[in-house]
Amino acid sequence: MPDSNDRLLWIHGEYVTPADGKYFDTHNPATGEVICRVAQAGKADVERAVESSREGQAQWAAMSGAERGRVLVKAANLLREHCDELARLESLDGGKPIAETPEADVGSAADCLEFFGGQAASLHGEYQAVPGGFFYTRPEPLGICAGIGAWNYPLQIAAWKSAPALAAGNAMIFKPAELTPLSALRLAELFRDAGLPDGVFNVVQGFAETGQALTAHPDIAKISLTGEVGTGKAVMRAAADTLKAVTLELGGKSPLIIFEDADLDNAVGAAMLGNFYTQGQICTNSTRVFVHESIKESFVEKLLARTRKLKVGDPLDPDTDVGPMISADHMQGVLAYMEKGKEEGGKLLIGGGRARVEGLENGNFVEPTIFDGLTDDMTIVKEEIFGPVLSLLGFSTEDEVLERANKTHFGLAGGLFTRDIQRAHRVADGLDSGIVWINHYNLTPIEMPFGGFKQSGIGKENSRRAFEHYTRLKTVYVAEGDVDAPY
C-alpha cells in the first residue's frame, strides 16, 4: 500500500499507483538516508502511459506551434519561480552542491524550455519548383517519444529531452534514472500548471527493465537516452526490433590541451571546472589534461594551490564546492579507479581516497584527486571514471598531442587553451570530438548543438538541430500539368 510520502507514477496529469505495487527507495547521497519510496513502473504501467500519450499527443499536435510554445515558456517561468525549491530537491536527491543547482540545473532547464517555447511556432518546411510542378516539405512530429535519463543532471536532462520533443508536437514518456527520480515529477506538475494537456508528458520511474519496456514498445517512435556507452548499445540493439529512431548521449574521456602560450589562470580554472564540478560526474569532463612540458610545472603549482582550497562537504551548504558521489556503489567504483591509478604507477599529487565530512560520516564523499606521471595506456587515462579524478599528461608538439588526444573510442568533447588564433582553429578542426571549447570548458548554452562522435553518441540535443531528431520530414509533390503517360 502506498503511504502519503511515496512518490507515485505521473500518468495523464495525475499521480497513479503502480499496477504491480512495487516501490523502491531513493537516498540522500550525503547521508545515506532514505528520502522516500518511489513507485516502480512495470510493463502494465508503461502500457498505460503509452495509451495516455496517444490521446495527449493527438490533442497537443492539433494545437498551433504558438500555443504549444506559450505553454513551454510558462513552464520555464514556473521553474524559475520555484528555483529555490527545485535546486534544493536536486541537491538532496543527487548530492549536487547548492552553489551549482540553481543555475546549472534549474536555470539551464528553464533556458531550454524557454528556447524551444520560442522556436515552436517557427517549425516550417520548404518549397521548391521542379519540372512539372513543385514540392513542399512538412516537418511532422514523430508521435510518442521516450526519454531515458542519467542521474547526474536529472532536471536538465528531462528538459533537454522534453522541450524540443514537445515543441515539435510530440508526447514524451520520461524515465528518470532510478537514483534521482524526484525532480522529473516536479517538472511534470509544473508542466500541468503551465497548461500542458494530460498525457503529453508522463513520468515512469524504475530501473533498466522500465527503460527496456519503453525501448521495446511498438507504439513508441523514438528513444532519447543519456547514459553509459554500454547502455547506449543495448538500447540501440533493442530499438532495432521496431526500427525506432535513437538519440544517444553517452560517456566520454575528453582531452583538454593547454599550449605553452595559454593564459594559465584561465586554463587552471577550466581544468578544475572540467574535473571537479558536480564532483566530476559530468559526461563531457576534461579528464585527460594535456599540458605542454614547458609550462607544466607552473600549471601544476597553480592547479594544486587552487585544488587544496576546495571544500568537500554538505551539498546544502552554500560554501560547499564538492558534494558526495551519487551512491555508495558508485563511490566504491571511483575509489577502485584511484587505487588502480596508484597500482599502475601513477604519481598521486593530491587526494586519492575517501573524504571524511564531519556529521556526514555515511555520505559518499571522495577527495578531489590529481594524478601525474601517467602514460596513455593506463586504466585511469583510458576509462571513464565519472568522479573527481584529473589525469595530467605532458606533451611536446601539436601533432603529437592531437594524435594522443584522439586515440580513444570516445569522442564527446575536447578543449584547448592558446592565444594563437590559427592554432586554436587548426586544433579544433583536428579534434575528433562532437564539441570543442576554445579557451573555456564545459559551457553548454542552449543555442549550441550538443552531442558526441564515435562511441560517445548519435544525434544532437539543444539548438534548432534538436528538431531534426524529433520530427519526420514528409515530402509532398504537386503536379501543375497533365499526366504524360506512355500507355
- Cβ–Cβ < 8 Å for 385, 287: yes
454-483: which residues touch ligand NDP (CB under 6 A)? 457
Question: Binding of ligand NDP at residue 337 (CB under 6 A)?
Answer: no
Q: Which long-range contacts (CB under 8 A, 24 or more apart) does 305-313 make?
A: 306/268, 306/269, 306/272, 307/272, 307/276, 307/350, 307/351, 307/368, 307/370, 308/350, 310/276, 310/368, 312/355, 312/357, 312/365, 312/367, 312/368, 313/357, 313/360, 313/365
Does the active-site annotation cover 161?
yes
Within residues 142-161, the interface with ligand NDP by CB under 6 A covers 148-152
CA distances from 430 to 121, 289, 402 (A): 37, 17, 7
Q: Give me the catalytic one of 90, 249, 367, 398.
A: 249
Which stretch in 114-122, 230-238, 313-321, 388-396 sits in contact with ligand NDP by CB under 6 A? 230-238
Q: Which is nearer to ligand NDP, 430 or 452 (CB)?
A: 452
Of 418 and 462, the one with the shorter C-beta distance to ligand NDP is: 462
Single residue of 134, 135, 136, 207 touching ligand NDP by CB under 6 A: 207
Q: Does 175 bind ligand NDP (CB under 6 A)?
A: yes
**At 397, phi and psi to the nearest 5?**
-130, 160
216 is a site residue for ligand NDP (CB under 6 A): no
**Under 8 Å between Cβ of 71 and 58:** no
231 touches ligand NDP (CB under 6 A): yes
| Binding track over 236-275 against ligand NDP, x by CB under 6 A | -------------xxxx-----------------------
Closer CB to ligand NDP, residue 16 or residue 325? 325
Identity of the residue, 226 or 307, whose beta carbon is nearer to ligand NDP in the bound complex: 226
Closest CA to 270 of 296, 306, 298: 306
Burial 259-281 (b: 16+ CB within 10 A, else e): beebebeebbbbbbbbbbbbbbb
Spatial CA neighbour of 144 closest among 211, 70, 224, 67:
224
Closer by beta carbon to ligand NDP, 212 or else 266: 212
Instruction: Give the CB-nearest residue to ligand NDP.
Output: 211
**Rounded Cα gap, residues 206 and 213, in angstroms:** 10
Binding region for ligand NDP (CB under 6 A) out of 35-43, 44-52, 221-229, 309-317: 221-229
Considering only residues 395-434, where is the footprint of ligand NDP by CB under 6 A?
A: 412
- Nearest residue (CB) to ligand NDP, 239 versus 401: 239
Stretch that binds ligand NDP, among 121-129, 226-234, 295-303, 395-403 (CB under 6 A): 226-234
For the CB of residue 128, give the shortest distance to ligand NDP in the complex, in Å: 35
With 0-12 / 13-18 / 19 or more C-beta atoms within 10 angstroms meaning exposed / middle / buried, residue 121 is middle
Question: Binding of ligand NDP at residue 93 (CB under 6 A)?
Answer: no
235 binds ligand NDP (CB under 6 A): yes
| Grid cell listed for 287 | 579528464
Which residue in the set 9, 384, 395, 417 belongs to the binding site for ligand NDP (CB under 6 A)?
Answer: 384
Q: Which is nearer to ligand NDP, 113 or 213 (CB)?
A: 213
Least distance to ligand NDP, CB of residue 411, Å: 11
Which of 199, 211, 352, 430 is the binder for ligand NDP (CB under 6 A)?
Answer: 211
Q: Which of 228, 260, 263, 317 binds ligand NDP (CB under 6 A)?
A: 228
Contact with ligand NDP (CB under 6 A): which of 19, 35, 121, 208?
208
**473's grid cell:** 520530414
- CB 352 to ligand NDP: min, Å: 22
Pairing relation of β-strands 133-141 and 457-458?
unpaired
| Choice among 283, 384, 398, 460 that is catalytic | 283
Which residue matches cell numbers 610545472?
Answer: 297
Quote the least distance from Cβ 277 to ligand NDP, whole Å: 13
Shortest distance (Å) from residue 304 CB to ligand NDP = 26
The catalytically annotated residue of 74, 96, 161, 175 is: 161
* Burial (CB count <10 Å: 0-12, 13-18, 19+), residue 140: middle
Q: By the criterion CB under 6 A, which residues form the site for ligand NDP?
A: 148-152, 175, 177-178, 207-208, 211-212, 215, 225-228, 231, 234-235, 249-252, 283, 384, 386, 412, 452, 457
Active-site positions read 161, 249, 283, 461
